[in-house]
Amino acid sequence: MADPAPEKTAAEIRRTAYNRVVRQAQLHSIFREKLDFDLKPEALTVEKESLKRSLESEVRAFSFDAEEGTCLGSIQWKITMRHRRRVLVRCTTTYLVLYDGIRGVEEEVARIFMENIGKGACYAYLRALFAQLDWASGIGSPPLPVLRLEPRV
């Protein structure tokens, strides 16, 4: 008699559900909800190499409707450029990202999907937006880096 298949761990079950969401989900829309750009005059006079840039992101709000199969995330991005300890450039923008076609999963899995995939979906828009703001303001910084996410599933 063959041994029964071992039971899946909670992590394996979640990973299977997550992969199903990745296959099912359809990007419905991305909208820029908010934008705040602040430039201190000193940013234009300091050595460009001395400006240290940081990039942060956060899913600020999340909604999942299991019956409709929709998932909505409000993703905030913050870009700061510092000279020594002083913030000379700050760009904060929020995107609304909507997916549909997500069925048969728990809210936790949909939330992980938004953290991993939703951020990536709006990052190209952020890069384009910041490149335009950077050019128009005369900062002349290098393009934002390629997004490297370490998916947490």
pLDDT tens for 80-100 read 999 999 999 999 999 999 999
From 141, 107, 111, 145, select the one nearest 126 (Cα to Cα).
145
Q: What is the pLDDT of residue 153?
A: 65
Tokens found for residue 95? 């995107």
Q: What is the pLDDT of residue 80?
A: 98
The Cα–Cα gap between 2 and 68 comes to: 42
Confidence of residue 114 (pLDDT cuts 50, 70, 90): very high
Confidence of residue 108 (pLDDT cuts 50, 70, 90): very high
Q: What is the pLDDT of residue 48?
A: 87
Q: Radius of gyration of the chain from Cα atoms?
A: 20
DSSP 3-state of 8:
coil
Q: Under a CB-based contact definition with an 8 Å cutoff, are residues 65 and 28 in contact?
A: no
Residue type, 76: Q
CA 136 to chain centre: 24
DSSP 3-state of 44:
helix
pLDDT at residue 125 above 80? yes
**Model-level pTM?**
0.87
Instruction: Give the residue-averaged pLDDT of 131-150.
Output: 90
Confidence of residue 3 (pLDDT cuts 50, 70, 90): low
